[in-house]
Chain A
């Protein structure tokens, strides 16, 4: 028989008195694990889709809409940026709203976006092997959007309307027939939700039509709404980023962009981190309180153990081991509970359009290393909380502890 066995039997006997602590830590742990799981799964789903080599070398330059003295992202700007030392390529992006008139699946507003070779979306279904670059009149839809499954759209032709602006109160609708040639994984969120990729010519034509200008005029004046600058290597990214920013363009590295999650998921991640702290405090304070109370209630037992030859540190170790076991039970219970909590939370988040693509997993939980680390940390924190009250209980003289012997 060893101390751990004695502690285990004691925990079984004291299970009702330990239930409160175990339940509190388990519930807090479950919510914490769920929040961390959802946030990390969302982060991972985007990061996984990006080729690390390209992602590490990419800088996103946005249109300087609120900087009147800075030139728009025109072809001339593209050339200037390409002239920065250690820039391998500059790839443009233009995005424009694309009402889909006869989409039988019901998703009627997508955003037509040009394709960039540096950041190719992950295709999950297509009419041909090599989908990009797209031909004129071809589009690639997300596999799902707003909960609508678009997988049946591949190979179909739909009508896209571009509302042409002429002058205030006067306009015309230009309709174009386009063919859906493929679907991409909707967790690819680099270009925002509801993105449909189309060939450059079509997207520019729709944007120009909406602005009531010719395509040449549009590209010369309004230009692209985003440029992706790819550096020669990841080591050159800071230098290139600084050069772009010196030209007064709003620019971030792609890695920085990937860190930015939608507000709800940022809140979820923050909640997870805050709860982690709360969990630690709860576990520690709970262990201090419960061990102290049990130590006083079990004074006679401590006295008996010391009378039969337990050293003070053996009694301390036994009491701490009891709380560590309770912590382990709480950690396991928390992990089991987290399956339900994260499943329910993910189901709720999937109803939020902007967030849904990030929450694809049915039960988003952290990976095994994180689960194990959090479980071990829970056990250690609970055990640490028990040390001082356990030592206090163990210091009691056996004759004091066992007054009625």
Chain B
């Protein structure tokens, strides 16, 4: 929001606003812009998901709406908005209605601290990483609310799996971000990316080249996929056993909110990974560009889509085993290791 405030300072004096009104207007503009970006990202990501999956299965995917089906997701979005608004008769009406808003709201408010390019974070929060970990818990609660409110046994199973999965994977997500944070000495996302500048080819200082952070990067990405319920960890909505899990009763606009939230979260996880581990906007040959940062995020998202159409789903006990017996111990070891690293190589 600071850059909006600064932009307003450059207006002619007669047009300048101050006080709470100016503050409210800049906040609303920042939120509106972020909302637009989230929707655009989700539209393009859904299209990419369909095209990539089609290619992997030797199909062509959507081809008819627009050039190579580029407008297909837009058409789908319009269709979802025009659909009848259904609430099942036995559902808990208030929980059923609030749940999609909570899920999308949780994914959306995380974007508040995310720099969209260098120096353009809506709110450049000093403890951005903690904020992101905090907001992700809203999504899990929204999913539980949806599962309970639908009054459907498959939804309920999906919700219970979400609760277990989220409680478990919250821990390795935080643990595996810590080594890079310890190296950078900051919890601010912009500062984290900036601390990785310089070195050979503007790449040598990336956190990922540290042996402990190298492991943590992959573990963080795995935990992130699990927290966003992506395949191979999409047990809460596994279609072969639970039909569609927690959102089986949802249709139309409410379903669209779940869909939007999934891609908003996927982008968030990819963006955090590229900011914290891959140097953000710092790139090879001394380049420093926001396009580079976006490219990294898109590559990470592509990897997530790639994994979805390559790997089969985990079993629930394998999922829990992976978290508690592998990711968490490794996270603790990595934190200890990076502590020794800083002690012996930095001081």
Q: Do A and B come from one complex?
A: no
